[in-house]
Structure 1
Amino acid sequence: MTNVKYYKEYIILRKETIYFKEKMDDIKRNSYILPSFIHSYGTKVDEITCKKVKRLQFNINLIDRLKKEVSSTKKFFAFDTEAYEHEQEKLTEFGWSTFNNNGKIYSECHYIVDEYYNLRNHDNVPDNKDNYLFGKSKRLPLREIEKILKEEIKKVDIIIGQGIHNDIKYLKDLGININEFRYIDGESFYSGGKAIIDTTDLYAGYYLDKPSSLENGLIKCNIPHEKMHNAGNDAHYTMKYVIYFINNMDITKEKYQRLLRLKVPSYIGPCKYYIIKLNILLI
């Protein structure tokens, strides 16, 4: 009986190994089409490669789904904050733009935190606190801005931003409830639900290139911009950025289709494009 048990276990493991190798072979055969930020040509294709391919496939589809599946009644919320460069926990500005996937803008605003008005950045980023270009800045105490922001968050469906994880952390630190929203990190996306999306994923899916800074991305998209590092301006440009990807995405192009055809084992989940590779023994 013991030998039979071990034999059955061996057969199961053998089948899984063969299945894995077959799927890996598909990636290996087509590794020459992989973008260099996913896999360096001539290097070994491994599980990390597969994870990155899976995330890229998801992001390609994500842009197309934002375009075709999300109702125009759903509100996107491009959100940005600015912090004092020498004390990052001190938020000095808030900005947001509310819009839909057709580019209709519902509202845009820029708030300056009154108690930190005199804290000025200049060592690492420019000081554009007083240079909002899309309306009139409002200078209010932090608590008042928080109240306004809490009410705005209740009205929107998709929070979106550049490096949005940092901004979401700030929201949580301020006690703003975002439990209804789900991070879209390379796995499932329900077009009827509430979501948090990072524009770096949209950039990677559209350009098949490593995630870029907002300013470099705007340059590549030929979107005019100025006075960056003002939270209101950055939120406005983030909105323009998102609409650019949605309007210009054509998933039928062969450069996307050949990547979407790649077969990745279903039990392998996506990972970030940048991860530290450890010495992991793979079967």
Structure 2
Amino acid sequence: MLPSSFLKLNTAIYEWTKECPPDLKRDLDMFLASNDFLDRPNIFFKGIEDSSKKWVALISVAGAESSRQMASQRLGYQFMELHQDETTTFSLLSPAPRMPVHAAYNKFLKDIIKANKIDRTKAKVEGWKRTLDRAAEMVAAAPQQPPSSPEDSNSTDTTTTTAAAVALPPSTLLTSLKPGERSAASYGMWFISVDIESFERDHSKILEIGWSVWDSRMHKFADRHYAISEYRHLKNGKFVNDRRDRYIFGETVWARLNECIAAFQADLDMAAKRNSEGLFALIAHDMSSDEAYLKGMGIVFPEGMVKFDTMELNCARVGDAAKVGLGKSLDELNIDNYSLHNAGNDAHYTLELFLWLARNHLTQRSLQ
């Protein structure tokens, strides 16, 4: 970190342009694009602005003063001296490449934009990796053996399939969870995956709602699929496959939207009642769209519930910010899947993907 003997280049150009009389602006633009201004060594630099952590184009204070004098002489107008901001500091300074033509200057600026984009992408992926740590540790902290109590062993009235059991690394790997979260997870985790399918020509019309619940104490999936009766006549197919009739984890229930919402809320409330000391997590693949629908429905989630987006968790796994759809993610990991774009099926497979990502991440960490 160095004291500011530099000015941000865009700030200097902005100040000169703002001060310049209107009848001289064209001449100023020509000067700023000329070799006299651009092709000078040790005048232009790039560096990271410490306050914003972003790469910026810089001009040395001495270079700004010589530029001011050159512009004043060429335009016949006395520009005011620019003053550096003593509170602004920059790091990782390096001189700009030689810029004999304006195209080279444009490339210099574009390279800075590209560097910032790369840094933003890296920061985004690192954030997703930390989220994957939390997801994996919640799975590890949850009870790993099915209960022996007959009361706890009773499944809900939804279709269930047994979740695959895996050997998990010891809890000494738990470093990302807060003490309260670790304690709550030890009572049991309820992972609730949801998917909503809307009409491709009017996304305000919801055609299907599907959800899948995995109770860590019982090691079972509980799946539901509701199709909205008000929109039975609407069919997707031009942009998105319509597979409302291909639910494979139980019976599809046709009901009005308010009844579907009530059923989902009832399952959430039941889960919260059965595991009042446990922890709840909402799972979705591309969370933003499904979450917006749920908020619009007025769904009330258990207090303290956390959220995980499997699209982002998969990006964390591969170390790349390029997001991949549910089907491709499942295929890449050899997770069998059928009849996607059915809300019930998608919810179930999203939960399977979540558990695979969490357990695989724990395994990889244990090998490090």
TM-score (norm. length: structure 2): 0.52
From the superposition, tell whether residues 199 and 93 of structure 1 become closer, same or farther in structure 2 (CA, over 3 Å). Answer: same
SS of 2:311's equivalent?
helix
Question: Structure 2: where are the runs of 5+ without partners?
Answer: 1-84, 94-110, 143-184, 273-279
Aligned pair partner of 2:230 in 91, 115, 135:
115
Query: What pairs with 1:192-211 in structure 2 (closer than 5 Å)?
Result: 193-209=304-320, 210-211=322-323
Corresponding position: 1:227 with 2:336: no
Task: Give the paired residue count.
Answer: 210
- 8 A contact 1:101–1:246 mirrored in 2: no
Cα offset for 1:229?
A: 0.5
From the superposition, tell whether residues 160 and 57 of structure 1 become closer, same or farther in structure 2 (CA, over 3 Å). Answer: closer
The one-letter amino acid of 2:328's match is: N
The CA RMSD measured in Å over matched residues stands at 2.7
Cα offset for 1:101?
A: 5.2
The one-letter amino acid of 1:206's match is: R
From the superposition, tell whether residues 56 and 169 of structure 1 become closer, same or farther in structure 2 (CA, over 3 Å). Answer: closer
- 8 A contact 2:211–2:344 mirrored in 1: yes
Query: What pairs with 1:148-227 in structure 2 (closer than 5 Å)?
Result: 148-154=263-269, 155=271, 157-178=280-301, 193-209=304-320, 210-227=322-339
Corresponding position: 1:44 with 2:115: yes
Alpha-carbon distance in structure 2 between the residues aligned to 1:144 and 1:114: 10
Cα offset for 1:60?
A: 4.3
From the superposition, tell whether residues 251 and 139 of structure 1 become closer, same or farther in structure 2 (CA, over 3 Å). Answer: same
After superposition, what is the alpha-carbon deviation per residue over 1:115-144, rounded to whole angstroms, capped at 9, x for unaligned? 111211000111111110010111111111
After superposition, what is the alpha-carbon deviation per residue over 1:27-49, rounded to whole angstroms, capped at 9, x for unaligned? xxxxxxxxxxxxx9xx6367535
- Larger strand share, 1 or 2: 2
Query: What pairs with 1:53-72 in structure 2 (closer than 5 Å)?
Result: 54-70=126-142, 71=185
- 8 A contact 2:225–2:247 mirrored in 1: yes
SS of 2:223's equivalent?
strand
- 8 A contact 2:330–2:353 mirrored in 1: yes
- 8 A contact 1:77–1:96 mirrored in 2: yes
- 8 A contact 2:125–2:316 mirrored in 1: no
Partner of 2:56: none
Partner of 2:243: 128
Partner of 1:77: 192
From the superposition, tell whether residues 150 and 50 of structure 1 become closer, same or farther in structure 2 (CA, over 3 Å). Answer: same
- 8 A contact 1:126–1:229 mirrored in 2: yes
Larger deviation, residues 61-70 vs 90-99: 61-70
Cα offset for 1:103?
A: 8.5
Corresponding position: 1:237 with 2:349: yes
Question: Structure 1: where are the runs of 5+ without partners?
Answer: 1-8, 23-39, 182-192, 255-283
Give the share of equivalent positions with the same residue, in percent.
Answer: 26
Alpha-carbon distance in structure 2 between the residues aligned to 1:53 and 1:146: 34
Larger deviation, residues 69-78 vs 140-149: 69-78
Alpha-carbon distance in structure 2 between the residues aligned to 1:237 and 1:49: 27
Alpha-carbon distance in structure 2 between the residues aligned to 1:103 and 1:235: 19
Alpha-carbon distance in structure 1 between the residues aligned to 2:195 and 2:235: 17
Partner of 1:190: none
After superposition, what is the alpha-carbon deviation per residue over 1:41-64, rounded to whole angstroms, capped at 9, x for unaligned? xx6367535633542442342343
- 8 A contact 2:125–2:319 mirrored in 1: no
Alpha-carbon distance in structure 2 between the residues aligned to 1:204 and 1:13: 35
